[in-house]
Each structure stands twice: as structure tokens, then as C-alpha cells.
């Protein structure tokens, strides 16, 4: 859709960000109810209510994610990402937040 040529005066709508987040939350809830939940599913489910300012609900899902992580490497990367995000919020132009620019899932040896 990004490169589509639209007629003059035509408008498109993809819905609001809020409605997209609500839809994402519903889909993650459905996925968790159908399949054995993974830490990533709880993590993503926790992010949606957090973005909608439902922080208690977000906290509950994020705690489930943290409790279900069994792989120490995953736990390490999760904690490291939180620290980089905190650094980026404090000092957006510092060098350390640039580690967040790597695509999700890619791991660099330090």
C-alpha cells in the first residue's frame, strides 16, 4: 500500500492506533487460549494494555512472561533490552541506545 497511486482526493483509513492495539490484544489473548503460552506471547500481550494505560493488566501479563522464561539466555537479553531502553529514555543521543537499532532476534557477540 505504501507505493500505491491514489486518485486525487481519495483518502484511506487504517483505523486508529488505539483500535489497532485493542485488536492486537484480542488476537494475543486468543492465541494464548488456543496454544500453550510462551514468554513472548505474554510479553507482547502485556505491551498492548500498557500502551492503552491499563498498567495493572500489563504488569500481570509481564509478570507471567518473566515467570515463564526458562532459557537463561532469553532472560539475559530481556533484561539487557530493558536497560538499553531505560538508557535511551534518559540519554537518547548516547551511544548505548544504538544497540536497540538491531532487528529483533538478531544477536551480536560483544
Q: How far apart are CA 50 and CA 21, in angstroms?
A: 10
Q: Using N-to-C axis directions, what is the helix angle for 55-68 and 39-51, rounded to 10°?
A: 170
- At residue 98, the pLDDT reads 59
Q: What is the pLDDT of residues 20-58, one digit of tens each?
A: 888 888 988 888 888 777 787 888 888 888 888 888 888
The average pLDDT across 91-108 equals 59
Structure confidence by residue, pLDDT tens digits, 56-74: 888 888 888 888 877 777 6
What's the average model confidence in pLDDT over 88-104? 64
User: Cell digits for 49?
Assistant: 494494555
Q: Supply the pLDDT for residue 91.
A: 76
What pLDDT score was predicted for residue 43?
A: 81
Residue 1, pLDDT score = 45
3-class SS letters over 41-85: HHHHHHHHHHHCCCHHHHHHHHHHHHHHCCCHHHHHHHHHHHHHH
Query: What sections of 1-54 are H helices per DSSP?
Result: 17-34, 39-51
Amino acid at each position: 500500500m505504501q507505493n500505491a497511486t491514489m486518485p486525487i482526493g481519495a483518502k484511506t483509513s487504517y483505523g486508529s492506533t488505539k483500535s489497532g492495539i485493542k485488536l492486537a490484544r484480542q488476537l494475543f489473548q486468543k492465541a494464548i487460549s488456543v496454544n500453550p503460552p510462551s514468554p513472548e506471547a505474554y510479553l507482547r500481550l502485556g505491551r498492548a494494555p500498557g500502551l492503552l494505560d491499563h498498567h495493572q493488566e500489563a504488569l500481570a501479563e509481564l509478570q507471567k512472561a518473566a515467570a515463564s522464561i526458562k532459557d537463561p539466555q532469553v532472560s539475559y537479553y530481556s533484561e539487557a533490552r530493558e536497560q538499553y531502553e531505560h538508557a535511551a529514555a534518559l540519554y537518547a543521543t548516547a551511544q548505548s541506545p544504538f544497540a536497540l537499532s538491531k532487528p529483533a532476534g538478531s544477536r551480536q557477540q560483544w
